[in-house]
Amino acid sequence: MQKYSLKDKQKFDELFWNKIEASQIEIDYLEKTKKYINYIKWIPWIKMVWIGNSLSMNSANKESDIDLLIVTDEKRMWIVRLICTFIFQIIGVRKTDKHHAWRMCLSFFCTLKWLNFWQFSLKKDPYLYFWILYFKPILDFDKTYNLFLEKNQEWADYSSFKNLIENNRDSIIYSKTNSKGILNSTLNKIISLVDNLCKKLLLPKTLNSYENIWKPFGVIINDDMLKFHNWDIRKDIAQKFK
């Protein structure tokens, strides 16, 4: 079980220049996120969308992007990724190599099957621990945020930070029980086939990019998680907490 203290959190905050109160930049970026999340909230297979990294930690600057982490139903991740990428590209808010500041960065997708991040945790992983602690959920369908916390508290003890977790809930702007009902087996199979087609369309380019950047540590590409963090600093941060 990994557990860190209030003193450890202070050390983590100092390393990343995290602030207690949001600056005007973070306030403005959060409003942009709330505005553009409307374009994807209708996608029926999305279970949760949260903000991570600098914006969630109140350490953003005018050049920062907006990191979105999207949880989907099982066997729906690839189709959700394609739809989200298409929509944000069309409306001109997707992060690209040329356009970075305040754009939406689709760097992390996972299905309900991989909600427990212990599956890629280091033996001692303070960065992942606090990264999760700072996640700000924006969309939360079917109480997926509760499930996410429950799964990760199997390996990470957050008992010292209950107030921060409760404050994170204030970021939720859409929270409901999904009322789409149970689809018949035939329609489910069709949607699963479409998801598989999306995978066949996107996976070759994804793997090619992974090869071209020399397969960096921290990148995960499988049927239940797409984690595109090319510069994963968790090992370096772990050294600072020895």
Residue extents of the structural domains in the chain: 2-240
The pLDDT score that the predictor gives to residue 29 is 92
What average pLDDT does this structure show over 125-147? 94
Mean pLDDT, the chain, whole residue set:
90
First to last CA, the chain: 16
Taking CA 106 as the corner, what is the angle to CA 197 and CA 235, rounded to the nearest 5 degrees?
110
Tell me the CATH class for 2-240. Answer: alpha beta
| pLDDT band, residue 130 (cuts 50/70/90) | very high
What average pLDDT does this structure show over 96-124? 90
165-175 burial code (b ≥16 CB/10 A, e <16): eeebeebbbeb
**Residue with token string 């907006």:** 66
| pLDDT band, residue 205 (cuts 50/70/90) | confident
pTM: 0.90
Judged by average pLDDT, the poorest of 28-32, 100-104, 114-118 is: 100-104
What CA–CA distance (Å, rounded) separates 54 from 60?
Answer: 5
Helix (H, G, I), strand (E, B) or coil at 102: coil
The pLDDT score that the predictor gives to residue 180 is 54
